[in-house]
Amino acid sequence: MAKKVSRRLKELLRKVEERPYAPLEAINLLKETATAKFVETAEAHIRLGIDPKYTDQQLRTTVALPKGTGQTVRVAVIARGEKVQEAERGGADIVGSEELIDEIQKGRMDFDKLIATPDVMPQVAKLGKLLGPRGLMPSPKGGTVTFDLASAISEFKAGKLEFRADRTGIVHVLFGKANFTAEDLLVNLKALQETIDRNRPSGAKGRYWRTFYISATQGPAIQVDISALRDLKLNEAA
C-alpha cells in the first residue's frame, strides 16, 4: 500500500526541480522547505559506489562539524580508577564502571554517545547486542574508545559525529539544524564532503559519489551537485 503524501509535502515537492542544485542554492531551498512546527534537522543522504559486505569497502569514521550540530549531546563514559574522575572533570553527563555496564544491561539508555577506555572494553563487549543496533557501541574508528577522555567528551559535545555507510552503501548523517544560517550549513556540509573523500575505502572502484541529496527532517529531497561542492574552497564557504 502506497504511503499517503500530505498536502504540505505535495506543496513543498512542487518547489524542488529534478536537477542537481549548486550547494548554497540547495541549502537555501532546504531552509525554505523546513516548514514543520519544530526546528527540523538538516540531513544528508549520500549513495556511494561501495559494497560494505567487503571489508575493504566499508566506511565508518567521524566528522567534526565546524558550526556544531545544534543538538545537546549527552555523553556517558565507562572507565576505571582515576579515569572516572577525569571523565567527570571533562564534562561527561554519566560516568561509571562495572555498575554502569550493569545498568545499561538492564535497559539504561539515557545518553547519545558512549565512550569507553580501552581497558574496560572486554566488559563493554557484552553490551554489543544492546548497543550495536542503536549505533552506540564504542569503537576505536569512531573515536569512542580512548584514554584521552577530556578531548573526546569536548569534541562530541562540540559537534563531532560518528557515521557509517549502511549495508547498501548509503550514508545518512545530519549536518546541523534548519535554523542555522545557510553559510554555517554550507561550512558543515563541506566538512562532511571532505571527510567522506578523505576516508574513501581502499576497495572502492569507479565513481565514488553516486547520488547526493539533502533534506530537512520532514522536507523533500534536494539533489546537490557534488562536483560544485568539491570545487568549493573553504574560505569561500566560511
Contacts of 84 (CB under 8 A, 6+ apart): 77, 95, 96, 97
Q: What is the domain range of residue 22? A: 17-69+160-237
Residue 211 — φ and ψ, nearest 5°? -135, 150
Classify residue 1: in a domain, yes or no. Answer: no
Classify residue 154: in a domain, yes or no. Answer: yes
Predicted confidence (pLDDT) at residue 236 exceeds the cutoff of 70: no
CATH of residue 88:
3.40.50.790
Say how far apart CA 90 and CA 83 lie, in whole Å.
10
Say how far apart CA 31 and CA 25 lie, in whole Å.
10
Give the cell for residue 64: 567534526
Predicted confidence (pLDDT) at residue 2 exceeds the cutoff of 90: no
Q: How confident is the model at residue 3 (pLDDT cuts 50, 70, 90)?
A: low
Predicted confidence (pLDDT) at residue 238 exceeds the cutoff of 50: no
Predicted confidence (pLDDT) at residue 74 exceeds the cutoff of 90: yes
pLDDT in tens, 129-175: 999 988 899 999 889 999 999 999 999 998 898 899 999 999 999 99
Q: How many domains does the chain have?
A: 2
pLDDT in tens, 80-100: 999 999 999 999 999 999 999
Expressed in percent and rounded to 5, the helix, strand and coil fractions of the chain are 40, 20, 40
Predicted confidence (pLDDT) at residue 10 exceeds the cutoff of 90: no
- End-to-end C-alpha distance for the chain, whole angstroms: 45
Predicted confidence (pLDDT) at residue 22 exceeds the cutoff of 80: yes
Amino acid at 42: A
**pLDDT at residue 7, as a whole number:** 82
| Backbone CA torsion sign across 11, 15, 19, 21 | negative
**Same domain, residue pair 98 and 124:** yes
Classify residue 188: in a domain, yes or no. Answer: yes
* pTM for the whole structure: 0.79
| 45 neighbors 217 (Cβ within 8 angstroms) | no
Say how far apart CA 146 and CA 126 lie, in whole Å.
18
